[in-house]
């Protein structure tokens, strides 16, 4: 009978197999089994093995996840386009991070401090927090993952960049938060599962419009070519150090000083896709092709070609919505290009946030100085090869 059960379990998908094996192995432990069922229900089917239901005590749990820049393909990861035509994005993570810290408490209170929003709140761990517009991203994650038996905790969250800056900060915070909570509760989630769960909380539980790429970029880290369709496939790219170093020498990351709600721009793009507007669909199809072309240029070290394609990606991106290129963004482009930049592209949905400029290194300082006089903050950066990292102290 036992052998037949094992053979039957091995024919199931991995997540279903894990959940079924857990329930069968806990038939005699009703308390543990019900606790596992609660965790599985909240995490959308991710069931922890028995030994992780009682995690080791700790003083702090930490997590950090890198922000990303998107070179091409942004928008093709936003529903309904990937379901109908398939999406593709080329992106890389950089040395800007979302940080999360958890400290257990001796009572049943949860305290949250968001440094980015200058907000603090608390509530009992025994109750689902009310989603009222105040730190709902954090509260929604806790609703999914909380366990009353481990007591309360203090959370502190912050990011290196302001929310709405176009580097995927809100989704990256969600990945860091899910990663930290899974470390605290002992949930054995891999990179895909962390990204899946972070996406489900932000896009489905909270109905915040946006794409898929940010969660997977933060979870995996590094240079990635991502494909979106019936499922998400993350293809890590092995790029020579000399190419990465030269690319860092050639790029400027410039903050316009304007943050925005990307959901408004994404809603406009989505409505245009549903209405089958020719310019928007043409722009999205071109983005897919450019993501493939830029991947090839990057892997072969053809950075001059990469820079030209970056400019083409910006021209095609503007077709997605008239809300993407504001007068201030257009003026910043004119200043950068007239002072020696080869090309550039807004890193997020548009309307503000960061612009990525490609420059000849010998002219880079002049481009930066001219943009600074205009009121745009120009900074250099490094690429970050690691994705989500969690640890205990």
262-274 and 278-300 are packed helices; what angle lies between their axes, rounded to 10 degrees?
Answer: 110
Q: Is 275 exposed, middle or buried (0-12, 13-18, 19+ CB in 10 A)?
A: exposed
Q: Is 116 exposed, middle or buried (0-12, 13-18, 19+ CB in 10 A)?
A: middle
3-state helix/strand/coil string of 88-136: EEEEEEEEEEEEEEEEECCCCEEEEEECCCCEEEEEECCCCCCCCCCCH
How many other C-beta atoms can be found within 10 angstroms of the C-beta atom of residue 91?
Answer: 26
Question: What 3-state DSSP class applies to 68?
Answer: strand
Separation between Cα atoms, residue 185 and residue 54, nearest integer Å = 8
Separation between Cα atoms, residue 172 and residue 117, nearest integer Å = 15
Separation between Cα atoms, residue 304 and residue 315, nearest integer Å = 17
The owner of tokens 């894990």 is 18
Separation between Cα atoms, residue 306 and residue 71, nearest integer Å = 9
Could you give the angle at the alpha carbon of 212 between the alpha carbons of 207 and 218, nearest 5°?
A: 110
Contact 184, 55 (CB under 8 A): yes
Contact 146, 42 (CB under 8 A): yes
Catalytic residue among 77, 136, 196, 214: 214
Beta strands in the chain (DSSP E): 61-72, 87-104, 109-114, 119-124, 153-159, 223-228, 232-236, 251-255, 341-346, 354-359, 377-379, 389-392
Question: Among residues 179, 184, 240, which one has the least CA distance to residue 387?
Answer: 179
Is 360 considered catalytic here? no
Separation between Cα atoms, residue 63 and residue 183, nearest integer Å = 9
Active site residues: 214
């Amino acid at each position: 009978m036992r052998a037949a059960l094992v053979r039957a379990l091995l024919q199931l998908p991995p997540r279903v197999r894990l959940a079924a094996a857990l329930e069968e192995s806990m038939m005699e432990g009703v308390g543990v089994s019900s606790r596992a069922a609660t965790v599985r229900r909240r995490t959308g089917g991710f069931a922890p093995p028995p030994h992780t239901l009682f995690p080791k005590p700790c003083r702090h749990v930490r997590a950090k996840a890198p922000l990303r820049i998107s070179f091409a393909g942004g928008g093709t990861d936003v529903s309904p386009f990937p379901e109908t035509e398939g999406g593709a994005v080329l992106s890389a993570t950089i040395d800007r991070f979302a940080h999360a810290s958890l400290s257990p408490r001796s009572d049943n209170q949860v305290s949250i401090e968001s440094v980015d929003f200058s907000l603090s709140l608390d509530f009992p761990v025994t109750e689902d927090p009310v989603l009222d517009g105040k730190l709902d991203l954090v509260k929604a994650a806790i609703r999914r993952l909380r366990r009353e038996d481990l007591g309360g905790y203090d959370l502190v969250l912050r990011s290196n960049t302001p929310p709405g800056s176009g580097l995927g900060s809100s989704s990256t915070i969600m990945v860091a938060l899910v990663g930290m909570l899974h470390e605290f509760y002992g949930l054995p989630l891999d990179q895909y599962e962390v990204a899946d769960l972070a996406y489900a909380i932000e896009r489905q539980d909270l109905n915040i419009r946006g794409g898929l790429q940010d969660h997977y970029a933060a979870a995996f880290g590094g240079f990635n070519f991502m494909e979106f369709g019936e499922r998400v496939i993350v293809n890590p790219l092995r790029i020579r150090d000399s190419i990465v170093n030269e690319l860092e020498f050639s790029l400027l990351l410039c903050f316009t000083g304007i943050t925005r709600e990307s959901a408004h721009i994404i809603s406009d793009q989505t409505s245009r896709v549903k209405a089958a507007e020719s310019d928007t669909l043409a722009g999205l199809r071109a983005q897919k092709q450019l993501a493939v072309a830029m991947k090839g240029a990057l892997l072969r070290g053809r950075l001059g070609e990469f820079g030209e394609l970056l400019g083409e990606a910006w021209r095609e991106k503007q077709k997605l919505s008239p809300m993407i290129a504001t007068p201030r963004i257009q003026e910043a482009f004119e200043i950068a290009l007239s002072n020696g930049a080869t090309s550039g592209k807004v890193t997020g949905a548009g309307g503000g946030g960061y612009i990525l400029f490609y420059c000849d290194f010998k002219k880079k300082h002049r481009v930066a100085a001219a943009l600074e006089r205009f009121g745009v903050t120009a900074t250099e950066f490094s690429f970050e090869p690691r994705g989500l990292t969690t640890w205990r102290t």
